[in-house]
Chain A
């Protein structure tokens, strides 16, 4: 199946065509395993992040078991708990990973109540706008700036 050094996500998503949802993963960048949306169940009922877990011979991986779906849904609900509820007028409406995931996993109520983050819109860069209230702290922008891109500042 997989070659040594490959992760579960790479093998499943790019070779076998099995969809595993992700939020913080980007194929060009190193994995951080921060969002935990991509968890899969391996033998023994253990949940591991597929973006960072290497494959090995004879591995038993379940990407859509009950435990996995329950965990993913709970994590999405936790993210939505302290997310601004202005999806209809949001600039990313219809082009939002979190929105897609919430729909896919059937989030229909605000089950948890989290503490709202507050902060002003960050307009320091001419190229990037960052709204701290909507940020889910996935760290993609940080990694992209450090690892990818030709015009690195340092």
Chain B
């Protein structure tokens, strides 16, 4: 359930962890009178942000820290719901509580595998160019903000993975569907 009584319909291309970030809106709406709502709603997006961070320097400790962050978030959500003064705070954490309860597999994919099943978290995707489809129009290279794409005109282009910031501009601008966005775990493609 979202908010105080709203119902939102979504398909599988929406990331459930993204929904937990919806209370950034609540943070700006909070009246600031009672402490759980004022401090709690601004402290809680941090755990979610860590969960969705870039896939770098992966190890078991980092994964456990992310899980611990989510447990803190769950506890905080309960406290904000129980102790807030008005209806805004009491319903602010509903997105977190309900997605954590009903879409636990989505969270676990983010926490341990560092993947996003809905492919909505661009920072977890790896972008490559399909050599057969690429016509060498150079549009992607022009639009790339970090100059990570190189290649000659009318020849297939390549993406330098070290430079790539996962912004997704190349995929948006390619007219030939030549950009492949996929999730790679230990060099195994999903």
From the candidates A32, A36, A111, A137, name the one contacting B72 in the complex (CB within 8 A). A111
Scan residues 17-58 of chain B and give those whose CB is less than 8 A from a CB of chain A. 32-36, 38-40, 42-44, 46
- 1/0 per position for A102-137, CB-CB distance to B under 8 A? 000000000111110000000000000000000011
Min CB gap B187→A, angstroms = 34
- The reply to whether A71 and B83 form a contact with Cβ atoms under 8 Å apart is yes
A-B contact pairs, 26 of them (CB 8 A): A34-B33, A34-B34, A35-B35, A36-B35, A36-B83, A36-B84, A39-B82, A39-B83, A70-B75, A71-B79, A71-B82, A74-B75, A74-B76, A74-B79, A75-B35, A75-B36, A75-B79, A78-B36, A78-B39, A79-B39, A82-B39, A112-B44, A112-B46, A112-B72, A137-B32, A139-B33
A142 to B190, CA, bound (A): 59
B82 surroundings in chain A (CB, below 8 A): 39, 47, 67, 71
A104 to B75, CA, bound (A): 20
Asked if A81 CB lies within 8 Å of chain B CBs, one says: yes
- The reply to whether A113 and B43 form a contact with Cβ atoms under 8 Å apart is yes
Q: A33-B85, A36-B85, A39-B83 are in contact. Are A114 and B39 (CB under 8 A)?
A: yes
A115 surroundings in chain B (CB, below 8 A): 42
A81 to B72, CA, bound (A): 13
Q: A75-B36, A75-B79, A137-B38 are in contact. Are A113 and B46 (CB under 8 A)?
A: yes
The chain B residues found within 8 Å of chain A, CB to CB, are 32-36, 38-40, 42-44, 46, 72, 75-76, 79, 82-85
Min CB gap B17→A, angstroms = 19
A112 surroundings in chain B (CB, below 8 A): 43-44, 46, 72, 76
Scan residues 1-36 of chain A and give those whose CB is less than 8 A from a CB of chain B. 32-36
Of all chain A residues, the one with the shortest Cβ separation from B40 is A78
